[in-house]
Structure 1
Amino acid sequence: MPISVLAIPLLPLAAFVLTLLFGRQIGTKVHWLPIAAVLGSFCCAVAAFFRTLSGEIINQDVYLWIHSDAFRVSVGFLVDQLTAVMLLVVTSVSALVHIYSVGYMKGEEGYYRFFAYLSLFTFSMLMLVMGNNFMQLFFGWEAVGLCSYLLIGFYFEKKSASDAGKKAFIVNRFGDFGFLLGMLLVYLQFGSLHYADVFGKAQQISGMSLHLLGMDVSLATVIAMLLFCGAIGKSAQIPLHVWLPDAMEGPTPVSALIHAATMVTAGVFLVARCHVLFALSPFTLHFIAVLGAVTALFAATIALVQTDIKRVVAYSTVSQLAYMFIACGVGAYAAGIFHLFTHAFFKALLFLGCGSVILGMHHEQDLKYMGGLKKLMPVTYLTFLMASLSISGIPPFAGFYSKDEILLMAFSSGSAAGRFAYLIGLFVAFLTAFYSFRLLFLVFHGTFRGSEEQKRHVHESSPVVLFPLALLALGAICAGWFGIPEALGGSNHWASFLEPVLGEPETHVSRPLELGLMLVSVLAGLGGIALAWFMYCLKPDIAPGLASRFPGLYRVLFHKYYVDEFYQRAIVQPALWLARSVLLKGVDTRGIEGVVNGVPHFFGTLAQRLRLLQDGAVSHYLAWMGGGVLLLMALLLVR
């Protein structure tokens, strides 16, 4: 195993341990160690990428981790083309978030602890994507969940932040339970959890069925659906999407790291890595495509009316992740990973841009108090504009190439699920451009809507904050150029690079039709931008008028279709009642504590009563002895 490959996860791990142990003593310069470690990890990831570019694949165990009878799992690393892409995404965005955090978190209590958690988060995600077996993937899977809890709830004295951290941790347990069952079935069927063993024998389960609830169900479908349960939770798809918007309670660099480079992309990576298993279940693939389309529309409509600057971007993440699942659902795994790659740059840029605005506004996040910041924060505005054009799918920005590839693959899939996903995806492209530029216009255009005191203190961010924005803006522009399609004169190097791992479905459309589909998607994006400009720049009275004209619809969208309220009443409150009234009072207090405390109390009371017999009066002792003799005689006579 090359040392440079081992160094990719071990450098952030070492930074976490050292920062946590000695960070308090180092003080305000503690950030240098984590930054140096993640930059070193990035350099090693680049080296690994060039290894795979030349055709070298590393799949090697480092040491035996678990050995119990026939169950054997090693800690090992698989570095192929898919892993190389994920390594570049994780290490590059994580490095920029580390640098950005120096300016954003300056003066915060627990500064060293924050950087320690960032390093642990990076290590966990790297272990997830580099593992060569399901168990190591699951270790990283759960570790990023732990880190999300620590970072979302970083301001733990703030109740909303601690609640959001718990929500993220608990909601993901629902999906992870299905994931565990899927891993169990994989082991029972194949006798191994190593990718090479499982994927090499995957065809064995083709046509096999499992008797479940009185029905014979395809074994491949059961395994694929259970594995996908984990992806639903981690990548925030309906119905387990509710944790992601609340994750905004964490510091803004955390939002960028979770949404762009770690955790939420883990579900997409899982489906792509296990595509051999998912390909055996057409039902599961159709389900993934339809669920992705529904989630994309659901999240995009909510983003239309949100007033928290970070919450708008959070719902756009849910919607963009759904695009990636649409691609996986129609078998275009490379297209899904392509969108994951471009999304990392423009989504990180959007979140860090939001953080720059929040810093300039002295931690104000409500859009109602912003406006006119274009002249006051010109660099932030320019980079935010680049990200908005990219997510809107406007050429030649990165988001255009990856989004258009997904829509093309969905259209050409030939299945009803694919065509449905294409139509929804096209409409969501229009909505995405609209709410993205609604955000841009409300923040940077028009007149300032805050107080005069706020306006006097608005300022552009420091260079340490702007430097990552500039580099991410470059990625938001150029990242898509790796996958320029042949219809536009490119060679689609992206699909060729990933083809040995993921393959690539054939498109069944002619070049004129492909160009026509591109034109339609670009027009959808431009239409959304034009409508946002008309409603929020040219005629700013229209939006409030629509909200007052359709108050019911506005309330439903603003309150996120009342899903959180439904879960609160249907799941949370009954669970709390069961825990407090039945388990705590009944089982714990009256049952367990009743036995544990009741038995010694009984014998203590009995001893107190028996002590009264020892009063020192001889006449009393004689009376007890005589009574005892009479009782024994009576018993003998009865017998």
Structure 2
Amino acid sequence: MHALLAFVLIFPLLGSVILMLGGRRLGTDGVRIVGVGSVGIAAILACIVATTQLAPGGAVTPFDLTLWHWMRIGSFAPDVALRLDGLSLAMMLVITVIGFLIHLYASAYMDGDAGYARFFAYMNLFVAAMLLLVLANDLLALYVGWEGVGLCSYLLIGFWYDDPANGRAARKAFIVTRIGDTALITGLFLLATQFGTLSIQPLMQQAATAWPQGSLMPTVAAFLLLGGALGKSAQLPLQTWLVDAMAGPTPVSALIHAATMVTAGVYLIARTHVLFALAPDAMLATGAIGAITLLLSGASALVQTDIKRILAYSTISQIGYMFLALGVGAWDAAIFHLVTHAFFKALLFLSAGAIILRLHHEQDIFRMGGLRRSMPGVFWCFLIGSASLAALPLITAGFYSKEAILQGAWNGGAAGRVLWCAGLVGAFLTALYIFRAFFIVFLGPVRTVPHGVTGWRIGLPLGVLSVLALIGGFLQTPALFGSSAIMSHLLGGVFGVTAETVGESAWPLVVASLVPLVGIGLAWRRFSSQAELSPSQTATARLLRTGWGFDTLYDTVIVGPLLWLVHINRDDIIDRFYEGIAVATRHAHDALRLTQTGRVRWYAGWVAAGSITALAIGLFA
């Protein structure tokens, strides 16, 4: 039964290879069967593996599966091995199940596209790379999956490469995340040289034994891993790529934001939590970066006009919540929110895609409106997703996972209380910006008349995700609401201690429950009327709309000076050195050529002179 774990990874990879090699000969139906079916089989196998490994109460019996020995360099001998425990099981189910629903949706969304086979080849490879990342039992194999999702994101963001803007967005994502990847690989080099292994379990055990808490080496290693996580998960200061990644097709946006790439950084920190626990400064930085990111991104989402960009800033903000939880040691709360976020963010993106598809690819929310009557199914799906994102109390998954994060911050001492306040402000902003979008899109006058119908391949994933966005929160509930602890039991074998979701006082829970309601109420008052609405044109709104001007800052401070250096060095000063060698060689050749006279007496004389010189050196040296 353990061997099935390998096939969870193999099927999407095999599907990708088949589509790359023979996609054009398969036809649309064949591509659909291979592309969607391979991920569907992986999801079924993942569920079978889960049912066989889950013990009563939600605990997992972990096991390792070695596929082959990769290399041996002295004592360094990494394996290509998979590990299933509570953390990798949760990630595997999210990737395969949500990935299958997105693939099924994409099979309808991309109908008629000239690159249909190429699209699913990239999507299947994306799923396979993410599965390798989360199932790998060795940080080197994890890094292969890490780079794989980076490659696939580049290919999919720039999928419609005929538009130069899409190519620029893809290059931007690739380059910005490379900064974090450089930090990560440097951290892996450090760990490998210190301990002679990158196998995760032995590495964490040795680090806990050899390095005192707060010492230099674990702090440096943790900050390097944090740098990698910031790039993939789009956190400050490497968050600028994710919004531009909306250039890709909407199913790609859903896959990146809900089930794959941006969750990789959260997973990395959670997987190496032992190392981070040895570096309090790195944990504090993780929490602070998450808090700042969630506030800045939430504010930017308030003024966006593109529905996909609103959701993109929302993703950056929600990943910030996860980093906040990691920073206070609420490991299981971070993963819990990762899971529920996958439900409601995939639902929101796919609902937005259904709207865009039926509005002639219109993405400006101020050109929508009145869609409640013409798209009632999508209306309810978007409402459920918005309510879960806003953490509407009691009835949504997002409420329970966000509450777990806030409770972890509240129990995290003085610094945790500051982060708790930031989380509350973020919760208010989240409710305000998502219901701003909801009211503008679905209420008021009709501005663009939709065409066509929403078929079953789009409607079915929306329905399933709607149910998950409502009931997914019951995986972990506070003691006030029955104290379900499935998620804590699932992750208990990984993180060791089950975090409590409620402290001595219930009032933080009450406050956290009321804040989203205030945000929704303000959004209703401002955006639900029938009055003509238009985007704000104030200087502050323009600044927020550009993401606080980070792109301008980086262009001015980094890109501009580098381009100036490239311009003044366009002839490459380093080449001057090698060109000088070439010139000197030519002159030496011209000088030696003068000795080639064709006169045998001169040749004999030079031979004699050389012989005498050699004898003199031998005798007197």
Contact 2:125 / 2:152 at 8 angstroms: preserved in 1?
A: yes
CA displacement, residues 352-395 of structure 1 (integer Å, 9 cap, x when unaligned): 11111110111111112111111111111110101001001012
Among 388, 391, 397, the alignment partner of 1:390 is 388
Instruction: Note the 1:402-551 alignment, pairs <5 A.
Output: 402-414=401-413, 416-450=414-448, 455=449, 457-504=450-497, 507=500, 510=503, 513-514=505-506, 516-538=507-529, 540=531, 547=536, 551=538
Partner in structure 2 of residue 322 of structure 1: 320
Contact 2:489 / 2:498 at 8 angstroms: preserved in 1?
A: no
CA 1:248–1:238 in 2, change beyond 3 Å: closer, same or farther?
same
Instruction: Quote the Cα distance in structure 1 between the aligned partners of 2:311 and 2:584.
Output: 59
Instruction: Quote the Cα distance in structure 1 between the aligned partners of 2:213 and 2:110.
Output: 54
Contact 2:230 / 2:238 at 8 angstroms: preserved in 1?
A: yes
Residue 592 of structure 1 and its aligned partner are, at CA, apart by 5.4
Partner in structure 2 of residue 44 of structure 1: 45
Residue 503 of structure 1 and its aligned partner are, at CA, apart by 2.9
Partner in structure 1 of residue 225 of structure 2: 227
Contact 1:412 / 1:507 at 8 angstroms: preserved in 2?
A: no
Regions of 4+ moved over 4 Å: 505-511, 539-544, 588-596, 598-604
CA 1:22–1:603 in 2, change beyond 3 Å: closer, same or farther?
farther
Contact 1:331 / 1:505 at 8 angstroms: preserved in 2?
A: no
Instruction: Quote the Cα distance in structure 1 between the aligned partners of 2:521 and 2:425.
Output: 15
Contact 1:256 / 1:351 at 8 angstroms: preserved in 2?
A: yes
Partner in structure 2 of residue 14 of structure 1: 14
Instruction: Quote the Cα distance in structure 2 between the aligned partners of 1:391 and 1:208.
Output: 36
The one-letter amino acid paired with 2:523 is: A
Structure 1: gaps of 5 or more residues: 210-216, 611-620, 633-639
Instruction: Quote the Cα distance in structure 2 between the aligned partners of 1:540 and 1:222.
Output: 55
Contact 1:205 / 1:219 at 8 angstroms: preserved in 2?
A: no
Partner in structure 1 of residue 613 of structure 2: none
CA 1:56–1:107 in 2, change beyond 3 Å: closer, same or farther?
same
Does structure 1 residue 238 correspond to structure 2 residue 236?
Answer: yes
Contact 2:3 / 2:65 at 8 angstroms: preserved in 1?
A: no
Name the stretch that deviates more: 391-400 or 65-74.
Answer: 65-74
Contact 2:169 / 2:244 at 8 angstroms: preserved in 1?
A: yes
CA 1:281–1:448 in 2, change beyond 3 Å: closer, same or farther?
same
Residue 461 of structure 1 and its aligned partner are, at CA, apart by 2.0
Among 552, 557, 572, the alignment partner of 1:586 is 572
Relative to the length of structure 2, the TM-score reads 0.91
Q: Secondary structure at the match of 2:72?
A: strand
The one-letter amino acid paired with 2:351 is: G
Contact 1:413 / 1:507 at 8 angstroms: preserved in 2?
A: no
Residue 485 of structure 1 and its aligned partner are, at CA, apart by 2.1
Relative to the length of structure 1, the TM-score reads 0.88
Partner in structure 1 of residue 617 of structure 2: none
Instruction: Note the 1:610-625 alignment, pairs <5 A.
Output: none
Q: Secondary structure at the match of 1:368?
A: helix
Residue 206 of structure 1 and its aligned partner are, at CA, apart by 3.0
Instruction: Quote the Cα distance in structure 2 between the aligned partners of 1:44 and 1:419.
Output: 43
Among 71, 76, 88, the alignment partner of 1:71 is 76
Among 42, 55, 64, the alignment partner of 1:59 is 64
CA 1:100–1:156 in 2, change beyond 3 Å: closer, same or farther?
same
The sequence identity of aligned pairs, in percent, is 42
Residue 2 of structure 1 and its aligned partner are, at CA, apart by 2.7
Structure 2: gaps of 5 or more residues: 607-621
Instruction: Note the 1:313-352 alignment, pairs <5 A.
Output: 313-352=311-350
Residue 52 of structure 1 and its aligned partner are, at CA, apart by 3.0
Q: Secondary structure at the match of 1:561?
A: coil
Partner in structure 1 of residue 95 of structure 2: 90
The one-letter amino acid paired with 1:519 is: V
Measured on the aligned residues, the alpha-carbon RMSD in Å equals 2.5
The one-letter amino acid paired with 1:294 is: I
Q: Secondary structure at the match of 1:192?
A: coil
Contact 2:71 / 2:79 at 8 angstroms: preserved in 1?
A: yes
Residue 253 of structure 1 and its aligned partner are, at CA, apart by 0.3
Does structure 1 residue 552 correspond to structure 2 residue 527?
Answer: no
Among 548, 552, 560, the alignment partner of 1:573 is 560
Partner in structure 1 of residue 136 of structure 2: 131
The one-letter amino acid paired with 2:127 is: T
The one-letter amino acid paired with 2:131 is: L
Instruction: Quote the Cα distance in structure 2 between the aligned partners of 1:542 and 1:448.
Output: 12
Instruction: Note the 1:92-491 alignment, pairs <5 A.
Output: 92-207=97-212, 218-394=216-392, 395-414=394-413, 416-450=414-448, 455=449, 457-491=450-484
Residue 93 of structure 1 and its aligned partner are, at CA, apart by 1.1
CA 1:106–1:256 in 2, change beyond 3 Å: closer, same or farther?
same
Instruction: Quote the Cα distance in structure 2 between the aligned partners of 1:539 and 1:290.
Output: 40
Name the stretch that deviates more: 287-296 or 571-580.
Answer: 571-580
Contact 1:154 / 1:250 at 8 angstroms: preserved in 2?
A: yes
Instruction: Quote the Cα distance in structure 1 between the aligned partners of 2:20 and 2:548.
Output: 41
Contact 1:8 / 1:42 at 8 angstroms: preserved in 2?
A: yes
Residue 542 of structure 1 and its aligned partner are, at CA, apart by 8.3
Aligned length: 592
CA displacement, residues 29-62 of structure 1 (integer Å, 9 cap, x when unaligned): 2121121111111111112222331242111322
CA 1:208–1:426 in 2, change beyond 3 Å: closer, same or farther?
closer
Instruction: Quote the Cα distance in structure 1 between the aligned partners of 2:16 and 2:546.
Output: 39
Contact 2:213 / 2:279 at 8 angstroms: preserved in 1?
A: no
The one-letter amino acid paired with 2:400 is: Y
Instruction: Quote the Cα distance in structure 1 between the aligned partners of 2:52 and 2:327.
Output: 30
